[in-house]
Amino acid sequence: GNSVTQMEGPVTLSEEAFLTINCTYTATGYPSLFWYVQYPGEGLQLLLKATKADDKGSNKGFEATYRKETTSFHLEKGSVQVSDSAVYFCALYGNKLVFGAGTILRVKS
């Protein structure tokens, strides 16, 4: 079945550092790929998505590129802020959303 693997956390960075959270997937067919974020005390919300190979999703300074050849969708941000502290979930959609286990990001000032 479809599955998503993402890097374990927590990831702790200083403000303005570069962020990468790795995500790889296993799927049949051509799924859409997503990053969802969960801020403390809030529900999951969509951060960005890509629907086909080589598409780049971007939002709020975050980016991820759908790499079919490496089955990856790594999340990147050039300069993180304290307000980016949250749990980040990589997910794929074939006929339903399948989530990774989540990566906790902590940004220190």
Partner 1 sequence: EAGVAQSPRYKIIEKRQSVAFWCNPISGHATLYWYQQILGQGPKLLIQFQNNGVVDDSQLPKDRFSAERLKGVDSTLKIQPAKLEDSAVYLCASSPLEGQGLSGTQYFGPGTRLLVL
Residue 31: both structure tokens together: 């799924």
Going residue by residue from 74 to 93, which x/- string records binding to partner 1, judged by CB under 8 A?
Answer: ---------------x-xxx
32 is a contact residue toward partner 1 (CB under 8 A): yes
Closer residue to partner 1, CB minimum distance, 21 or 92: 92
Whether omega for the bond prior to residue 10 falls within 30 degrees of 0, making it cis, is: yes
Q: How far is the CB of 69 from partner 1 (least distance, A)?
A: 22
Which of these ranges, 16-24, 33-41, 59-67, 71-79, lies near partner 1 under the rule CB under 8 A? Answer: 33-41
Q: How far is the CB of 36 from partner 1 (least distance, A)?
A: 8
Closer residue to partner 1, CB minimum distance, 1 or 69: 1
SS (H, E, C) the chain: CCEEEECCCCEEEECCCCEEECEEEECCCCCEEEEEEECCCCCCEEEEEECCCCCEEEECCEEEECECCCCECCEEECCCCHHHCEEEEEEEECCCEEECCCEEEEEEC
Residues constituting the chain = 109
73 is a contact residue toward partner 1 (CB under 8 A): no
Residues in contact with partner 1 by the rule CB under 8 A:
4, 32, 34, 36, 41-46, 49, 89, 91-93, 95-97, 99-102
